[in-house]
Amino acid sequence: MVRSKTKRSKVKAKARRAAKDSKYVYSFGGGKAEGTAKMKELLGGKGANLAEMAGLGLPVPPGFTITTEVCTYYYDHGRKYPKTLQASVEKNLGRVESILGAKFGDAKNPLLVSVRSGARSSMPGMMETILNVGLNDTTREGLIAKTGNPRFVYDAQRRLIQMYSDVVMEKAAGIEPEDGKGIRQQLEHELRKLKEARGVHEDTELSADDLRGLIETYKKKVLDVLGKPFPEDPMDQLWGGIGAVFQSWNGRRAIEYRRIEKIPDEWGTAVNVQSMVFGNMGDTSATGVGFTRDPSTGRKIFYGEWLPNAQGEDVVAGIRTPLPINEAGKNDHTRALASLETAMPNAYRHLEKIQQRLEKHYRDMLDIEFTIQEERLWMLQCRVGKRNGVAAVKMAVDMKKEKLISKKEAILRVSPSALVQVLLPMLDPKAEQATSPIAKGLPAGPGGAYGRIALTADEAAEIVEKSTGEDAKVILVREETSPEDVHGMHAAQAILTAKGGMTSHAALVARGWGKCCIVGCDAIEIDLAAGTIQVGEKELKRGDWISLNGTDGKVYAGKLPLVAPNLEANREYGSLMGWADDFRRLGVRANADTPEDAKRARAFGAAGIGLFRTEHMFYGEGSEEPLGKLRRMIVSSTEAERRAALDELFVNVKADVKATLEEMEGQPVTIRLLDPPLHEFVPKSEDKLRELASDVGIGLDDLKRRADSLHETNPMMGHRGVRLGVSYPEVTEMQVRAILEATAELLRAGKKAHPEIMIPVVSTAAELAHQYAIIERVYGEVAKKTGVKKIPHLVGTMIEVPRAALLAGDIAKQAQFFSFGTNDLTQMTFGFSRDDTGSFLPDYIASKLLPEDPFSSLDESGVGELVKIAIERGRKTKPDLKIGICGEHGGDPRSVEFCHRAGLDYVSCSPFRVPIARLAAAHAALAK
């Protein structure tokens, strides 16, 4: 683990505190608990919530939690435990024994426990769990006598051997077997062999004697393969399990997941030791999971799934497709299945009451796990449930309306990054109507997606890494997913699984990431070897296109177009954004260069344009004509030639600016003067060069010479921005004339227009003064020509060069506003070329030399310091100086929070990110 100095000292302080207090174990159950839900840091999420439920008097199997501090201690002390731990564990085990009247390791009345991980924030399926700890050849006899169910007891023992040998004896011991040779697979192979010999298909068809024999086979195999006997001593089993959970914190999967989710390595996991309850004791037993509201849509219904005669892992692992918990939660797909509500009405009623009570108590949507053992309900877990962005918005607004939470809490309940999912594209409904789905599954993650079929996680990750554009879009299609698949799931546009329910691994992970996902789509049959999926008569191959509607669970063959969602119809979204706007202080504008972008930005709630890049008109569709004129201007060799070309270009610039000003109806539009190095626009191909030469009326060689003379070694720091306006004042002049004339004409037509002229790449006040003189002169000329005496406008500068930030006090004497160009400011502060970071930045991030890409999230300690200096010095000169940001960071929630704290007036970002910035600004204002 690489740790920063502060983190290291925090960890040491934590360890010192722990050593002093020596309270490493917290008990729960029997109507009380030593911990509470607030103690997640110490007890992990699972432990803290088990304690809370036990404290509320809910039926929680008694147990205890070994704290996360023990995990930290373990890694800091060469994988050893604190001295007092053993005694504490034994004491707490004794407490569980006395509550239940059973004894761990007892031949007549044995207590069995589970050993589970529990980090501060949930890491679904990433770490280890061992069930049925305490079973051996002696205790099983006691359990058989107690339950009268030898088959169940043998099955539990063989499951223990299977799990324990895999998790403790192989994985935690650092043994890395060849593919398919792991102990778990070898034992599963023995199970399959036995079934074949008996001529049966299901495990449940094996007799008690078969299973007893299988236990012996398993033990021999463990000894053969791992060179050690399976431990019969229950205490050895318990400590082996505890150690394996701590080890699993640093397993490959867990590390990978933490990297994606940005969970610090230092947090550590707690270990929960809890008495076993069994959902697999026959037809009056069951297990399930539920959500107090539907986590996919946010609907206020108790939503969940259950399986009769099963253990919890069977639901989460997606091995059997579970049944709907109640009638209200049924959909077309599950209509005919039996619900818990009808199959076990008493247990269901009890559960329903508990879920209501828990939601009121926690004042949030919860995800709960339960087991019913011979009709008796036990609560195994509760935690604040993961939800997608669409559901998060609905729940927050509904809960505010139900008076469960306040308006402020509702705003804070939706993370700005989750809001992206509300804005997410969906399959074009028209295209969906014109075709029929090939299959339907459970809608586990909303939105639409298309991509090429990948049948393994590695395949998906590889395609994405090696391809670009549309070719890099894949849909991962799996029987079911497991924690080993996370890299491929992350790389894919969407996930489709044949098995599993709404709480399967795929659904849980996709929900956390806000990814389009369909699970339990049992009409598809995957043939990995042939590289195909069969859906009824239809066969699709790996690499074929498919499209998913994750909101309805529909799967289509081929590539269906995506469209933006109808936000106006989403009332909850409207309410939430309205509340956010009431609380935020920061203004939010958009970076937009066309009337269409401007329109979109306003629809998303932008209050102006913070960056209109004039050069936009020279790229892409419709750019041929203005680009031709610009090129003529660039290769001019005299001012007269240049002015002639500029006069022609003027028409295009004016029309472009005018259309956007008109669209914004008087809202401020910050128009930046031409910024890129001119060489960027010189044609590359011989044909185009020849065309330009004939246009200008010179020979090809002459043109090439002129073009070559523009070449720069380091164009990002070369002849660009204000420097162009200094060398060629007529370029500034033309643009300013176009802006002011467009404005004057709009005013004369009775419309409103408010341009703000912005000068880029400034590093001295003198450059600004030079440009101001031009602007002032042109203003007089335009006022005279148009007869409009007062043309409203501001003139300001970008702060994107470190020197400009340092000399902001001087620069503010001239400027009426500042806008931080943090793309360039980051480039020049770090000295990282913004166009070349791909070759080294990933190494910096992987090695934790930088916490993240400073071009995505503002580097507060370096670039942020310059921003603060510039604000302080600028406002010292001009207290009412208007200050904004228009670099990419303006749409990044963490950077928006910084901008709020730093005292900026507004942020400007791409239109799509405007709602995210609005919500992030409200979060910043509400943060303590």
Binding-site ranges for Mg ion (CB under 5 A): 800, 821, 824
In 67-140 the beta strands, taken as DSSP E runs, fall at 103-104, 110-111, 113-119, 129-133
- DSSP annotation of 814 reads H
Tell me the one-letter amino acid at 877. Answer: T
Contact status, residue 481 vs residue 497, Cβ threshold 8 Å? yes
Length of the chain: 928
Nearer to ligand PEP, 141 or 615 (CB): 615
> Computed over its alpha carbons, how large is the radius of gyration of the chain?
33
- DSSP-derived 3-state class of residue 367: strand
In whole angstroms, what is the distance from residue 697 CA to residue 703 CA?
9
- Among 883, 907, 882, smallest CA distance to 893 is for 907
- Among 802, 797, 794, 799, smallest CA distance to 821 is for 799
In whole angstroms, what is the distance from residue 476 CA to residue 482 CA?
13
CB 806 to Mg ion: min, Å: 17
209: Cβ–Cβ under 8 A, 6 or more apart, which residues? none
CB 740 to ligand PEP: min, Å: 23
Nearer to ligand PEP, 454 or 870 (CB): 870
Work out what residue 887 binds among Mg ion, ligand PEP, none; the CB cut-off runs from 5 to 8 Å by kind: ligand PEP
Contact status, residue 63 vs residue 275, Cβ threshold 8 Å? yes
Nearer to ligand PEP, 217 or 594 (CB): 594
* β partners of residue 883: 818
CB 821 to Mg ion: min, Å: 4
CB 835 to ligand PEP: min, Å: 11
In whole angstroms, what is the distance from residue 474 CA to residue 547 CA?
10
Work out what residue 741 binds among Mg ion, ligand PEP, none; the CB cut-off runs from 5 to 8 Å by kind: none
Work out what residue 822 binds among Mg ion, ligand PEP, none; the CB cut-off runs from 5 to 8 Å by kind: ligand PEP
CB 28 to ligand PEP: min, Å: 53
Task: Report the catalytic residues.
Answer: 505, 886
Residue 8 neighbours by CB distance under 10 Å: 14
CB 761 to Mg ion: min, Å: 7
Nearer to ligand PEP, 863 or 924 (CB): 863
Phi-psi region of 327 (alpha: psi -120 to 50; beta: other; left: phi over 0): alpha
502: Cβ–Cβ under 8 A, 6 or more apart, which residues? 295, 296, 303, 305, 442, 444, 519, 520
Work out what residue 613 binds among ligand PEP, Mg ion, none; the CB cut-off runs from 5 to 8 Å by kind: ligand PEP
CB 635 to ligand PEP: min, Å: 23
Nearer to ligand PEP, 114 or 822 (CB): 822
For the chain, count helices (H), then strands (E). 36, 34
- DSSP-derived 3-state class of residue 28: strand
Nearer to ligand PEP, 493 or 670 (CB): 670
Nearer to Mg ion, 490 or 720 (CB): 720
Both tokens of residue 304?
């969940």
CB 834 to ligand PEP: min, Å: 8
Q: How far are the Cα atoms of 38, 204, 887 from residue 51, in angstroms, in the given order? A: 10, 35, 47
Contact status, residue 379 vs residue 368, Cβ threshold 8 Å? yes
Nearer to ligand PEP, 241 or 821 (CB): 821
CB 887 to ligand PEP: min, Å: 3
Q: How far are the Cα atoms of 317, 405, 572 from residue 401, in angstroms, in the given order? A: 36, 8, 11
In whole angstroms, what is the distance from residue 327 CA to residue 348 CA?
12
Q: Is 13 exposed, middle or buried (0-12, 13-18, 19+ CB in 10 A)?
A: exposed
Nearer to Mg ion, 549 or 910 (CB): 910
Both tokens of residue 314?
């069977």
Both tokens of residue 741?
């004339």
Q: Is 735 exposed, middle or buried (0-12, 13-18, 19+ CB in 10 A)?
A: buried
CB 822 to Mg ion: min, Å: 9
Tell me the one-letter amino acid at 525. Answer: E
Both tokens of residue 385?
């449930």
Q: Is 583 exposed, middle or buried (0-12, 13-18, 19+ CB in 10 A)?
A: middle
Nearer to ligand PEP, 509 or 669 (CB): 669
What's 322-359 look like in SS3? CEECCCCCCCCCCCCCCCHHHHCHHHHHHHHHHHHHHH
Residue ranges binding ligand PEP (CB under 6 A): 611, 613, 675, 800, 821-824, 886-887
CB 822 to ligand PEP: min, Å: 5
Nearer to ligand PEP, 387 or 913 (CB): 913
The number of C-alpha atoms within 13 Å of 163 and in the hemisphere containing its C-beta is 23
